[in-house]
A and B are shown apart, each in its own frame.
Chain A
Amino acid sequence: MSRLGFHEKMLWAQFAGVLAVVGFYMHYLAHSAPGHHYLHAVLIVLLFLFASVRMFVRWRSKSVIEDERDRAVASIGTRWSNNILWLGLVIILVMYWDLGNMRSAGFLIGILFHLLLVAALARIIRELVAYRMSA
C-alpha cells in the first residue's frame, strides 16, 4: 500500500517538472546568445503536456478521491502563490511608476515568467510540507 496519496504523488511530479524547467532555464541562460528564443514556447508546451498527463492519469484511476484534506492543503498552497503573485504585481506597478515604463515587452514577460515560476514552486513546496505535517 502506497504511503503517498494521488495528489501528493502529483505534487512530487510537479516539483520534479519545475526543477527540470529551472535546470533547462539555467542551461539556457548560460549557453544562449541574446535575442528571441524558444524558451517560453517550450515551457507552454511542457505545461500543456503535464496537464494532459495529469488528466489522463486521473481519468485512468477512477477511484481517485479528492477529499477535504486535499482541498485544505490546496487552499494553503493557493494562498501562498496568490500572495507571491500579488507581491509581484505590486513590484511591477512600483517599477512602472518609478521608471515610467517597463523598458520592453521582453522585460515584462521575463518578470512575469519568474513570478509564475516562484509562485508555482512556493505552492508546490508549501503543499508538500502541509501534506507531510498532516501525514
Chain B
Amino acid sequence: MTGGHSSTSSFEMKHFLLRLFIFLAPVGLLLLGLEILQRQLPNNYVLKRDRMAVLHDSLETLILGSSHTQLGINPDSLDGKAFNLALTAQTLYFDHFLLTRYLDSMPRLRRVILPISYSSYAAESDRNPGDYNKSYHYAFFFGSTAFTDWYSIRRYSLVAIWSVKQSVDRAWAYYTRGDSLVDSGPNGWMAARDQHNLAKNGQESGLFHDQYYDSTLIPLNIARVTDIARLCRERHIELVLISTPMWRSYMEHIRRDRYHHMVSTTDSLSQALGIPYYNFTEDPRFVEEDYYDANHLRIQGANKLTTLLRDTLNAQNR
C-alpha cells in the first residue's frame, strides 16, 4: 500500500517547521548561554579537581568519603600536608575511582583515610534518584563513565545535570547576591558553623539512609574496600578506616541490626587486612554542640574528631 501527501502539504509542513524552528531558536540560544555561564561558575567538584592538580605532588594524607568526612575532618589539624577529597554522597565506588585516578600522581602519600558509614556497604550511585546525577558529576568533572549513559545529554551538559532551575538559581545567587557556590575551603574541608534541628534531622536522615539501603550490594562494596586496601598496601600507604560521630536522634531512626552489621563487617575487614578501624559513631566525647546536623559535625566537632584521630594515629605509630 502506498500513500503520502501532496507537494502542497509538504510545502506547508516545511513552512510550519520553519516557523516552529524560529520560535524555538531563542529558547535554544538561551539554554546555550546558560550552559556557557554554568561552566564559568565555581563548584565543589571543580575546586577539588583543581586543588588536586596543584597539591598532588606534596600530599601526605588523602581523606576520601562522603559529607561525613567532608564536614568531619579538617586536613589542617592533621600532621603533614593533607587534602579532603570527600564529596557529598560519595559512594565507595567513587572513593575507589578517585583513589585509582590520583594514586600514582601522589609520590609522597603515606596515609588514606576512608570513612565507613551506616549505609556505605549498601549504597550505589545509581540507586538513589537524588544522587543519580552524582555519577554525571564525576563523569563531567573527573572523566568517570560509571553509572552513566553515553547517549545522555547529562554526560555533556551542566545545565542538563543541574536542571534549568538550579542553573538559573546558581547564576542568580552568584552574580546578584555574591554567594560563593562552594562549600569547601582550599584544603577541601567544609567548615559548617550553624546547627540544624537535631531531632527532626535525625529522623529525616535516618529514614532517608534506610530508604535506599540495598543489602545485595554489601559483597560488592566489601570488595571495593579490599581493593583500596590492596592498592594502598602495594604502595606502602597506610589505610585508616573510620566511622564518624552520629547524634542519638540519628541512631534512634536507623535499623540497629544494620548498624551492627556494618560495624562487625568493618571489624572483620580491619583484622583480615591488617588495617586500623576507629569507630566514633556513638563516642560520648561528642556532645550536642559539636553537631551541624544529626549525622554531620560542625567546626568544633570536626576539630575535635581530627585531633582525636591524629592523636590516636600518632599513638598507634609510636
Q: Are A and B a genuine interacting pair, yes or no?
A: no
Binding site for B on A (CB under 8 A): none
